[in-house]
Amino acid sequence: MPNVRLKLSNRPENVLLVRQTLSGVGDAIGLDALELNDISTAVSEACNNVAVHAYGGGLGPLEVEIDACADALVVVVRDHGRGIHPEVKASDESGGGIGLPVIRALTEDVEFTALDGGGTEVRMAFATAKAATLVRAGGEEREQPTAIVDDTLANTIAMTIAPTSLARTVLPRVMCALAARAYFSTDRISDTQTLADALVAHTDRSISASHLSVGVSVAPRNLAVCVGPLPPGRASALVLDVDEDSLGPVIRRLIDHHEISPDGSSEMLALHLADPR
């Protein structure tokens, strides 16, 4: 399991979410500004290719995986559409406007793999000799949470983060970007930041796996975030906790309503925010 896995649609605005995720990982491992800029530029070009070319102008899935390995940050961008034609990969340095020369120039190594059933996996390795290495999650992989959040591809973002402490720099950035997309007011975006900070602070000690699973659905003036997996009964305990420094008071002050749903032997907590203004 990678340190971060994103599953989202190929809508162009989702490229910003990928960049925000990279910024969070960069903070966690100590990337300098120049390294982060080069990585974000190359990964954005790969994601833009999926947004513009992979599905013939239609909607389709975009998958991004990020691993902070020894001496390198490895990012995989994957589509399940038309992919990149082999003749473009091999010989057309103009890239047809899809940024392949930029990707090749900014990566230490790049591989293009055609997927069975259609699509392309672009694997980019970036030299990061001075950056920290993140522990990868072990054990069996779990499916992304979809039971509570809106399962419409265009409006749903799913991610896994491991180790769970990495969520401290990643999740607040992603949730604030999504709150802005939902047309939240400045005050309500600030509330979203507060909620995200509280979630990562308190679920880090509560997750029943080696990774945090997050699903977020976005609609105008509405945001729903689903987190887990939590041990049975733990979601209720988090919500009902009255300690001043706990998650409970934040939920009661900022959340419009919440739901708890089973997820195999664990459970998921969904929190719904609205901004009627």
Q: What is the DSSP letter of 53?
A: I
| Residue 137, pLDDT score | 59
Annotate 161-199 with b (16+ C-beta within 10 A) or e (fewer). bbbbebbbbbbbbbbbbbbebbebeeebbebbeebbebb
Question: Over the Cα atoms of the chain, what is R_g?
Answer: 19
Q: In this predicted model, what pLDDT tens digit does every residue of 85-143 receive, in sequence order?
A: 544 444 344 444 457 888 999 999 999 999 988 899 999 999 987 777 776 655 544 44
Of the options 3.30.565.10, 3.40.50.920, 1.10.4190.10, 1.10.443.10, the CATH number for the domain spanning 153-274:
3.30.565.10
User: What percent of the chain shows pLDDT beyond 70?
Assistant: 88
Q: In this predicted model, what pLDDT tens digit does every residue of 185-210 receive, in sequence order?
A: 999 999 999 999 999 988 777 786 78
Q: In this predicted model, what pLDDT tens digit does every residue of 229-253 receive, in sequence order?
A: 999 998 898 899 888 888 899 999 9
CATH topology of 4-127 equal to that of 153-274? yes
Measured distance CA(8)–CA(64) in Å, rounded: 9
| Residue 246, pLDDT score | 86
**In the chain, count of helices (H) and strands (E)?**
8, 10
Of the options 1.20.1050.10, 3.40.50.1700, 3.30.565.10, 3.40.50.720, the CATH number for the domain spanning 4-127:
3.30.565.10
Q: What are the residue ranges spanned by the domains of the chain?
A: 4-127, 153-274
Distances (CA, A) of 33 to 23, 98, 158, 234: 10, 24, 27, 39
Cβ contact 238:187 at 8 Å: no
Our CA angle for 84, 144, 83, nearest 5°, is: 5
Give the bridge partners for 181, in sequence order. Answer: none
